[in-house]
Amino acid sequence: MRIHKLSDETIMKIAAGEVITGTYAVVKELIENSIDSNATAINVEIIDGGKSLIKVIDNGIGMNEEEIKYAVQPHTTSKINKIDDLYNLETYGFRGEALSSICRVSRMKITSRTNNEELATMISFIGGKEVNKKKVSASVGTQIEIEDLFFNIPARRKFLKSSSAEGRMVTEIIEKFILSSDTSIVYKRENKEIYNISKDYTLKEKFKILFPELKDNDLIILNKNYNWLKINGIISNPKITRFNRSAQIFFVNGRYVKSGDLFSVFERAYGEMLETRRHPYGVLFIDVNPREVDVNVHPQKLEVKFSDASKLLKLLKTSIREELDNQTEFKLEFYEDNEVKEDIKNTKDSNELEDYRFYENKIKENVEQKETTYNNFLNNDFSIEDSNKKYFNQEKSTFKYNTEQKKLNWENLNESPKSTLKNISKNQIFISNTKDVDDYRIVGIIFKRYIILEFKNKIKLIDFHAAHERVIFEKLKKQFFDKKINTKLLLNPIKIKLDELRKETLKNNIENLKKLGIEIEKKEDVFYIKGVPAEFKIENIENTVFELLDNFRLEGIENMNKIYDNAIATMSCRAAVKTGDNIVGIETLIQNLMDMKLLTCPHGRPIAMDIDLNKLDTYFERK
């Protein structure tokens, strides 16, 4: 094929594919136009996830008939006149291509009226061509309806996600505008009102609506002014975290952006205050001179470049750290058993959306997994006991955290040898049941975390949390695929607070949770945890459910077997013993590890390490 010029229609449809990556992108562009038109109230409605209908109504300055016709033409805009204006932007839009791109790949109807007109103009377009025009009665402002997105590009339409997934992404982008704009927003999805947010709500009020698990005392206000740079927003106390970064939201000059640098600096500011692989909440507004930032580097304007990024990021990190140091302090409180209230909970929230790697899979083909292996842990006698009759409550600022480790017996321990390390003879030798594994002696536990074993020619250190977590994982995984995870009904069902995205995910995954032993009951629009897995206790079941729901949101991205693996790993982590627990049944745990030849926990962390006797002798110059 020789070089030739593409037709205008082909060019526009290619451009539309770059700008319109999904229904959420259409909603984003239309809301940005509404805000740029000085609207103080915006109504958004979608049907079929936005694939069948997107309707956006605002009370902005409106357009007359001539402006409507201009607006759907490529590269027409009211935002800039010359190239220098790109570096002094105070509006969301500027390229003049979004509305024309949307118009070319949908059935669009625009109704708009300016303040000096008595009647509004309504013009209908199909595939970018005007098909109808008339005067109608309407309020000042603009209403845009988009039907049948990509109806004329079937190959592109089939790549739209499911209605549920597209709708979820629209909800997410709506939430960004709720946080960033001083505009009242009403959002309806599938004829149901999801949000009705007044422009008079404070940022903290909005943030708590979007993340209902948060309380006032969980949040810290950030307000820094460096003349050329302003940093405002809300961050969470270091103990209020999630397993992913979905609650970290950044705006630059009011524009929502995604930036790996901002995510990284935000968390580095917390430093050692954060637990491993936990992520704080935060919504931050970074305001700089428009000339110091380039927003014209991404088709959807979701990325930006700063003229002096290192200086800005350094100040951002310093600002967050200073505020954390100033507003975070430790207090100690003690509670008797009957004084511990339901609201004293760690509101750490859900899901770590990371890749679980099981390194021992590489050697599985060389290891014979016998049925007797499973019998060892199905009749497991490994548990923990409360090490104290009191609860130790660590309080950060005014935040209460119950760090008491729950008794995580596996319910079937009646025949278990309740032997603790205290009554194991120092000279007692355990005869291994596993071929090729030497006999060993349990030496003790160090740092309330690691078990020391002595073999003939080496010392083995075992992380008992990682070990217990993996044993539970193997037990649960087999029960899951055998469809034998039993549920224990709760005497008092637990009410759970869900944001809109999790609520939708839960509705679609009630049966999946039931397969994992968690039974959910819905009364009106409120959900309750009615049953939990019967054979072991999960620490903080509400947060575990949050985490599982965030995991199920990956459906369509990950295959379901991987999603179930991740879910079972999450439950195993919640049920395993923790550092400082008084361990019972060490021998059984160790024997299970030997029998199953387990190398890592479900998250890929090593379970044990060996120190060879020859290396010790060499170090101490005994050889």
- pLDDT in the model for residue 251: 94
pLDDT in tens, 469-505: 888 888 888 888 888 788 888 888 888 888 888 888 8
Q: What is the pLDDT of residues 278-295, one digit of tens each?
A: 899 999 999 988 877 766
Cα dihedral angle (394, 395, 401, 402), rounded to 10 degrees? 40
Instruction: Return the residue matching tokens 């044990």.
Output: 608
Highest mean pLDDT: which range of 290-304, 324-338, 395-409: 290-304
Of the listed ranges 16-20, 238-242, 390-394, 575-579, the one predicted with least confidence = 390-394
Per-residue pLDDT, averaged over 235-242, amounts to: 91
Helices 163-180 and 203-210 sit at what angle, rounded to 10 degrees?
A: 160
Residues 318-322: contacts with CB under 8 Å, at least 24 apart: 318/269, 319/222, 319/224, 319/231, 319/269, 320/222, 320/235, 320/266, 320/269, 320/270, 321/269, 321/270, 321/271
Identify the CA nearest to 368 among candidates 596, 590, 608, 598.
Answer: 596
Say whether pLDDT at 341 is over 50: no
pLDDT band (50, 70, 90) for residue 147:
very high
Q: What type of residue sits at position 532?
A: V
Q: Domain spanning 8-197: which CATH class is it, in words?
A: alpha beta
| pLDDT for res 15 | 64
Residue 300 burial class via C-beta count within 10 angstroms: exposed 0-12, middle 13-18, buried 19 and up: middle
Highest mean predicted confidence (pLDDT) among 254-258, 305-309, 576-580: 254-258
Q: Is the pTM of this model over 0.85?
A: no
**Using an 8 Å Cβ cutoff, are 280 and 246 in contact?**
no
CA-nearest of 79, 81, 38 to 62 is 38
- Given the candidates 3.30.1370.100, 3.40.50.2300, 3.10.20.30, 3.20.20.70, the CATH classification of the domain at 463-596 is 3.30.1370.100
Among 176-190, 193-207, 295-309, 448-462, which stretch is predicted with the lowest mean pLDDT?
295-309
Distance CA 167, CA 480 (A): 31
Q: Length of the chain in residues, anyone?
A: 623
Q: At what angle do helices 371-378 and 586-596 cross, to 10 degrees?
A: 160
Q: Residue 239: count other Cβ atoms within 10 Å of its Cβ.
A: 22
Residues of the chain with pLDDT > 90, as a percent, come to 31
- In terms of pLDDT, which residue wins out, 375 or 239? 239
Would you tell me the crossing angle of helices 541-552 and 560-575 to the nearest 10 degrees? 160
Phi, psi of 567 (to 5 degrees): -65, -45
Closest Cα to residue 311, out of 263, 252, 245, 265? 265
β-bridge partners, 233:
222, 284
The H-or-E segment that residue 494 falls in is strand 487-496
Place of tokens 């790697």: 357
The closest alpha carbon to 321, from 284, 270, 282, 278, belongs to 270
Q: Which of 185-189, 396-400, 619-623 has the highest mean pLDDT?
A: 185-189
Which CATH number does the domain 203-327 belong to among 1.10.10.10, 3.60.15.10, 3.10.50.40, 3.30.230.10? 3.30.230.10
Domains of the chain, residue spans: 8-197, 203-327, 463-596
Q: Can you spell out the DSSP letters for 402-448?
A: E-PPP----S--TTS----GGGS-TTPPBPP-STT---BEEEEEETT
Supply the DSSP string of 449-482, one letter for each residue.
TEEEEE-SSEEEEEEHHHHHHHHHHHHHHHHHHT
Q: Which residues in 4-29 are b (16+ Cβ under 10 Å) and which e?
A: eeeeeeeebbebbbebbbbbbbbbbb
